[in-house]
């Protein structure tokens, strides 16, 4: 038995003993009165401590736990211990909760915790951005009143695994979020939102691309099948007409071949596992090569000159030759006869810049940002007429990206254009002076 209880027992016994002794000496009445007086004093003392305990329980504060001796002392010490233990447990739970909420905040997905009646308990910042919620303001509100989607309430009620709902906020055009509802615990739910705008964009691009390729192939195929039909109807045509038709078929077949070649080149360039070769080559040689190619294509219709300083470039010579040749071919195709084309290589702020300047038809400003998109053409007819596939600048952009270079386009309609490939300094080496 703890000593406090022993001393209480001894005190009770002492009171009884004092009563008995007084009774023995002073008579029975005096004895009972003495015992009762002593017990009353003890009762008063305990009542006072009980009152202190009750007062404290109304506003428990560890700092002013009552202080006493004896049984009450040990009760208050136990209370102290209990409170300390509880404080430690609370601190541990708070720390763990903090880690959980930090993890939930770090999630790239939006998270919304709902109670059993679909009221918002908590949501992270990503969910606020995705679903237009405000954690503090909306906590306790019914989520179906805040996320206004036609089938949302039904979706939430069923909350089936693997099922998701697309959310396209009217005020944020082009943004699409996917929402999933997951049950956990005792009929609680967790909403997970993710930004799927890029997937939708990629899907739209894929669809446009397939439609564009089909459209591009359709025109030459129609010409060729028309020719075959014509031949079937008239197997022995006039030789002059035959020659003319054959030239047309040849041209259309060539167009299809160019398109397929460009598509294959693009898909090869898009393969990120295939890095470009890293070889060092003389830029001047390369530019002289592509200018000769440009002259062949121009067949004397333009003046084509080079203004180059000696330098070496690091990268895939074959890929860069194809990019430079594409820019030169465009300059030739979009510059009327008699025009001037200059191929430059210069150093600008430590960077190496290859540019093709022409005095051609130029490009109205509003088209400039979209020129490198696949199949984007300012003038579809003119591009086709000159054998263009609409993929040239996409190929150029990809090749330059693979070499950490940028494509700058400057153009004034009816005056001319300058297409520049800007290479980072570490790809350029200048010859020793
Ligand atoms: P295309 O095969 O049609 O030439 P590109 O991708 O090479 O395709 O070019 C896209 C479009 O950019 C062209 O259709 C043309 O309208 C415009 N363009 C490209 N280079 C020039 C240039 N040097 N001068 C004027 N327009 C150009």
CA of 202 to the centre of ligand 1 (A): 24
Q: Is 390 in the pocket of ligand 1 (CB under 6 A)?
A: yes
What's the pLDDT tens digit per position in 41-96? 989 988 998 998 888 888 877 777 777 778 888 888 888 888 889 999 999 999 99
CA of 330 to the centre of ligand 1 (A): 6
Q: Could you tell me if 317 and 377 lie in one domain?
A: yes
pLDDT of 398 reads 96
Q: Provide CB contacts within 8 A for 427, sequence distance 6+.
A: 313, 314, 315, 352, 403, 404, 405
* Domain limit, last residue, from 158, 179, 195: 195
Sign, CA torsion 370/374/380/385: positive
Q: Could you tell me if 83 and 27 lie in one domain?
A: yes
Q: Could you tell me if 92 and 27 lie in one domain?
A: yes
CA angle 338, 343, 344 (to 5 degrees): 140
What's the whole-number mean pLDDT along residues 350-370? 96
Q: Could you tell me if 186 and 205 lie in one domain?
A: no
As a whole number, the mean pLDDT across the chain is 92
User: At 252, which CATH number?
Assistant: 1.10.287.130
User: At 338, which CATH number?
Assistant: 3.30.565.10
Q: Could you tell me if 48 and 117 lie in one domain?
A: no
pLDDT of 212 reads 92
What's the whole-number mean pLDDT along residues 99-127? 94
Q: Is residue 102 part of a domain?
A: no
Q: Could you tell me if 133 and 227 lie in one domain?
A: no
What's the pLDDT tens digit per position in 318-349? 999 999 999 999 999 999 999 999 999 999 99
Q: Is 294 in the pocket of ligand 1 (CB under 6 A)?
A: no
User: At 144, which CATH number?
Assistant: 3.30.450.20
Cβ burial of 77 (10 Å; 0-12, 13-18, 19+) is middle
Q: Is the pLDDT of residue 237 over 80?
A: no
Q: Is the pLDDT of residue 412 over 90?
A: yes
Residues 352 and 283: beta-carbon distance below 8 Å: yes
What's the whole-number mean pLDDT along residues 175-192? 93
Q: Is residue 139 part of a domain?
A: yes
What's the whole-number mean pLDDT along residues 5-21? 87
Token representation of residue 343: 């191929």
Q: Is the pLDDT of residue 171 over 90?
A: no
Q: Is residue 371 part of a domain?
A: yes
Give the model's confidence band at 193: pLDDT under 50 very low, under 70 low, under 90 confident, else very high.
very high
pLDDT of 80 reads 84
* Domain limit, last residue, from 36, 69, 96: 96
CA of 163 to the centre of ligand 1 (A): 45
Token representation of residue 385: 């007429």
Q: Is residue 77 part of a domain?
A: yes
Q: Is 385 in the pocket of ligand 1 (CB under 6 A)?
A: no
Q: Is the pLDDT of residue 401 over 60?
A: yes
CA of 139 to the centre of ligand 1 (A): 55
Q: Is residue 274 part of a domain?
A: no
Q: Helices 239-270 & 197-233, crossing angle to 10 degrees? A: 160
pLDDT of 408 reads 97
Sign, CA torsion 118/119/121/125: positive
% the chain with pLDDT above 70:
99
Q: Is 138 in the pocket of ligand 1 (CB under 6 A)?
A: no
Q: Could you tell me if 250 and 295 lie in one domain?
A: no
Q: Could you tell me if 112 and 79 lie in one domain?
A: no
Give the model's confidence band at 433: pLDDT under 50 very low, under 70 low, under 90 confident, else very high.
low
For residue 132, give its domain range: 107-195
Q: Could you tell me if 370 and 419 lie in one domain?
A: yes
Q: Is 358 in the pocket of ligand 1 (CB under 6 A)?
A: yes
Q: Tell which atom from ligand 1 comes closest to the C-alpha of 393.
A: 6
What's the whole-number mean pLDDT along residues 142-167? 90
Token representation of residue 278: 């890293």
Q: Is residue 90 part of a domain?
A: yes
CA of 207 to the centre of ligand 1 (A): 23
Q: In the block, which residue shows the tokens 């428990």? A: 60
* Domain limit, last residue, from 76, 96, 116: 96
As for how many domains the chain has, the answer is: 4
Q: Could you tell me if 289 and 402 lie in one domain?
A: yes
Q: Is the pLDDT of residue 256 over 70?
A: yes
What's the pLDDT tens digit per position in 381-392? 888 888 899 999
Q: Tell which atom from ligand 1 comes closest to the C-alpha of 383.
A: 3
pLDDT of 202 reads 92
Token representation of residue 153: 């309430």
CB atoms within 10 A of CB 130: 26
- Nearest one of 300, 299, 415 to 360, comparing CA atoms: 415
In this structure, are strands 340-348 and 303-308 parallel, antiparallel, or unpaired? parallel
What's the pLDDT tens digit per position in 281-324? 999 999 999 999 999 999 999 999 999 999 999 999 999 999 99
Q: Could you tell me if 413 and 286 lie in one domain?
A: yes
Q: Could you tell me if 24 and 139 lie in one domain?
A: no
Q: Is residue 392 part of a domain?
A: yes
pLDDT of 1 reads 54
Q: Is residue 213 part of a domain?
A: yes
Q: To test ligand 1's pocket by mutation, which of 259, 383, 420, 421 has the most ligand atoms within 8 angstroms of CB?
A: 383
């Amino acid at each position: 038995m703890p000593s406090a209880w022993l001393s209480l027992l001894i005190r009770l016994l002492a009171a009884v003993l004092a009563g008995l002794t007084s009774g023995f000496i002073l008579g029975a009445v005096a004895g009972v009165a003495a015992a009762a007086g002593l017990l009353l004093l003890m009762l008063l003392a305990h009542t006072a401590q009980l009152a202190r305990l009750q007062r404290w329980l109304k506003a428990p504060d560890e700092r002013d736990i009552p202080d006493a001796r004896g049984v009450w002392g040990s009760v208050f010490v136990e209370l102290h211990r209990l409170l300390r233990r509880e404080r430690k447990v609370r601190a541990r739970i708070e720390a763990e909760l903090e880690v959980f909420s930090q993890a939930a905040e770090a999630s790239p997905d939006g998270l919304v915790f709902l109670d059993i009646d679909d009221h918002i308990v908590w949501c992270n910042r990503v969910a606020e951005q995705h679903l237009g919620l405000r954690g503090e303001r909306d906590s306790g509100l019914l989520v179906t009143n805040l996320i206004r989607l036609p089938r949302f309430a039904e979706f939430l009620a069923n909350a089936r695994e693997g099922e998701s709902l697309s959310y396209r906020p009217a005020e944020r055009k082009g943004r699409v979020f996917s929402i999933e509802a997951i049950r956990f615990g005792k009929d609680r739910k967790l909403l997970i939102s993710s930004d799927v705008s890029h997937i939708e964009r990629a899907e739209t691009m894929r669809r446009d691309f397939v439609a564009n390729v089909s459209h591009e192939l359709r025109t030459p195929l129609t010409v060729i099948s028309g020719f075959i039909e014509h031949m079937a109807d008239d197997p022995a045509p006039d030789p002059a007409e035959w020659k003319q038709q054959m030239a047309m078929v040849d041209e259309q077949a060539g167009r299809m071949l160019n398109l397929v070649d460009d598509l294959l080149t693009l898909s090869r360039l898009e393969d990120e596992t295939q890095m470009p070769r890293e070889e060092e080559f003389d830029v001047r040689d390369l530019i002289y090569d592509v200018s000769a190619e440009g002259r062949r294509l121009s067949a004397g219709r333009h003046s084509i000159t080079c203004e180059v300083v000696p330098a070496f470039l690091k990268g895939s010579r074959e890929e860069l030759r194809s990019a430079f040749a594409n820019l030169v071919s465009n300059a030739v195709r979009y510059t009327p006869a008699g025009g001037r084309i200059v191929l430059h290589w210069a150093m600008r702020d430590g960077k190496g810049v290859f540019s093709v300047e022409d005095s051609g038809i130029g490009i109205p400003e509003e088209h400039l940002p979209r020129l490198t998109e696949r199949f984007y053409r300012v003038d579809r007819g003119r591009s086709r007429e000159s054998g263009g596939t609409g993929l040239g600048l996409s190929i150029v952009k990809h090749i330059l990206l693979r070499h950490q270079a940028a494509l700058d386009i400057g153009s004034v309609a009816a005056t001319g254009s300058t297409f520049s490939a800007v290479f980072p300094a570490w790809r350029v080496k200048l010859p020793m002076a």
